[in-house]
Amino acid sequence: MSAVPGTAAPAAPDSSIARVKWLACPSSAQWLEQAIARPDLVLIDHAHCERKAAGVALQLMFRYPGDAALAAVLSPIAREELEHFEQVVALMERRNLALRPLPPPSYGASLTAQVRRGEPGRMLDSFLVAGLIEARSHERMALLAAHSPAPDLRDLYAALLASEARHFGAYWLLAEQRCGRPATVQRLHQLATLEAQALAGEPAGAEQVRMHSVGVTVAALATCGPPLFDPGEPWRGGLDPGEAAG
């Protein structure tokens, strides 16, 4: 991995940081190198991701208006995602970066296309896709918190990690409570593989780096397995099955 001009080359991602139990594969060193080279693009894209995440939570609340328990979980998530959006934009302003449109990667659309149309599959898939996106965000923020050369970036990403883990934990619980653990585990294994495939390949270049741009190599994908958590163990939220495995 080549060095970013003016800095030492970042080390390869530490497996104890990069391995998140929802995910079939960790992100690549190439993605991390490009993200460190273009923190401006990652920050701008990150702001858009936080706003979209709030929209996903609200969309699910509107889709299932009779589910009061679902609303009680997702309403705080939507508010917190917008708070994160504001935090990212505030840092951008301190860095003299303006929020602007960026061409998104195909990642989100690829996962959304996997959501089944009929219920209850639509509900289950919607929860798990949202959770997988949160899990990938958590994994990549952890890498940036550990490896970014700028203290303000390290502080931002580190500050967001716990809430990101809570979010994908909440989506897991919503899925398990409504669709049962066996169906949830089986479908998560399928979608986690598709999530990794959506990120497979070599990054196109630093100008194209995004929070969810390509960054799992084909070689790595071939050696990756299903999500690491034990489906026989009960889970009550928090960092398991979302915590980094080490």
Task: Report CA dihedral (124, 125, 130, 134) to the nearest 10 degrees.
Answer: 90
pLDDT confidence of residue 218: 55
pLDDT band, very low/low/confident/very high, at 246 (cuts 50, 70, 90)? very low
* Residue 141, H or E segment: helix 121-147
**Peptide bond before 105: cis, by omega within 30 degrees of 0?**
no
SS3 160: helix
Domains in the chain (CATH in brackets) are 15-223 (1.20.1260.10)
Mean pLDDT to the nearest integer, 175-199? 96
pLDDT of residue 203: 81
- Taking the C-alpha atoms of residue 139 and residue 84, their distance in angstroms, rounded to an integer, is 16
Diameter of the chain measured on Cα atoms: 56
pLDDT greater than 50 at residue 236: no
Per-residue pLDDT band at 199 (split at 50, 70, 90)? very high
pLDDT at residue 4 tops 50: no
User: Mean of the pLDDT values across residues 60-77?
Assistant: 98
Task: Enter the pTM of the model.
Answer: 0.86
Cβ contact 169:53 at 8 Å: no
pLDDT of residue 13: 55
Enclosing H/E stretch for 109: helix 107-112
Query: Is 129 a residue whose pLDDT tops 90?
Result: yes
Range in 40-54, 127-141, 205-219, 222-236 with the lowest mean pLDDT: 222-236
Give the number of other CB atoms < 10 A from CB of residue 113: 11
Q: Which ranges in the chain belong to alpha helices (H)?
A: 15-18, 29-37, 39-63, 68-94, 107-112, 121-147, 151-179, 181-198, 218-223
Instruction: Report residue 176's pLDDT band, with 50, 70 and 90 as the boundaries.
Output: very high
For 183, the token pair is: 């169906």
Q: Any idea which of 29-43, 150-164, 178-192, 204-218 has the lowest mean pLDDT?
A: 204-218
Q: Say what the pLDDT of residue 118 is.
A: 98
Mean pLDDT lowest among 35-49, 166-180, 204-218:
204-218
